[in-house]
Copies of this chain bind each other. A is one copy, B any other.
Amino acid sequence: MTQEKAVIALFDRSRKTNDVQVGIGDDGAVLRDGTVLTVDTMVEGVHWDDKLTPEDVGWKLVAVNVSDLGAMGAKPAWALLAMALPSPLDMTWTERFREGLFEALNFYDLPLIGGDTVSGPTRTLTLTVGGKAAHPVLRSTGKPGDDVYITGELGLAAAGFLDPAPTPAARAALCRPTPPVRFGVALAESGLVTAMMDLSDGLREDLATLCRASSVGAEIDPAQVPGAADLAHRFSFGEDYQLLFTAPPDARSAVESLSRSQAVPIARIGRLTAGGPVRLLGASWPAPLYTHFPPGPR
């Protein structure tokens, strides 16, 4: 168990109340009225370094949060920003951060409705976002026999971070991710999908999380996973902010049709199994290149 998971377990005393439908342990929490809530913190030197401009940091803070909402099938509705910033305040950095933040807030049509600003030795940025889901989709409801899909391609952000001279596309994937939020909402509202989450920690880790939550195993064909040639980049770095979702085989043509109509590319990469391991067919999962907690080489 990672330290992050130990901490989550420590605080997971969520009492189910009349208002709360899903508590700790999914991309977001779900209230009975369909409100989905999520919060993400980014710390300078841990979650970003000089590769990101201040504008990129603002964009990414919004993107990683709306990614969680989209993965639950929730349309973003509002955001609250809490910032710890060193004193004296660096107004240039703060204004540049704001530009990127509002660019992403506008892109995802999300009003900033409040926040808190305090002094602190290290820039620490926390965004809380709320949204509404008519049919929230969880991680824990995948079924044996379901197909496993991803959106987009994987490993671009890894290349953006690890390559000494990344391509513009790789740099954009790392610095300006654009999670397919509307497609997540459309998938949820279609009723086609059984489970969904966003790919933030790499397919290796995120699929294991989904399978553990759903009490299933999985078989993935690496040849069907679009993206980086390097398997570790593709499976074990993270920061892709694409969607991982499951649907029964009889939904295939409807899922593909939704992908076309929304212009979001998808790939069917394997299937869920009744128990058993989460396997990569014909290969071993490459070791993680990056873990959130404690921080690795980043």
Contact = CB atoms under 8 A, between A and B. Distances in A.
Interface string A71-91: 000000110111111011101
A223 interface: no
A7 B37 contact: no
Given A14-B112, A94-B10, A113-B20, A43 B118 contact: yes
A253 interface: no
A88 B294 contact: yes
A24 B114 contact: yes
Contacts of A98: 10-11
A119 B37 contact: no
Nearest to A91: B6
A102 interface: yes
Interface string A232-266: 00000000000000000000000000000000000
Given A43-B120, A118-B46, A119-B292, A78 B113 contact: no
Nearest to A12: B112
A275 interface: no
Interface string A35-77: 1011111110111000000000000000000000000000001
Interface string A94-122: 11001001100000000111111111111
Interface in A1-27: 3-4, 6-8, 10-11, 13-17, 19-20, 23-24
A112 B24 CA distance: 8
Interface residues of A, number: 67
A208 interface: no
Contacts of A24: 112-115
A111 to B, nearest CB: 5
Contacts of A112: 11, 13-14, 23-24
A209 to B, nearest CB: 15
Contacts of A41: 82-84, 116, 118, 120, 124, 126
A203 interface: no
A23 to B, nearest CB: 5
A210 to B, nearest CB: 17
A294 B14 contact: no
Interface of A: 3-4, 6-8, 10-11, 13-17, 19-20, 23-24, 28-29, 31, 35, 37-43, 45-47, 77-78, 80-85, 87-89, 91, 94-95, 98, 101-102, 111-122, 124, 126, 128, 130, 292-295
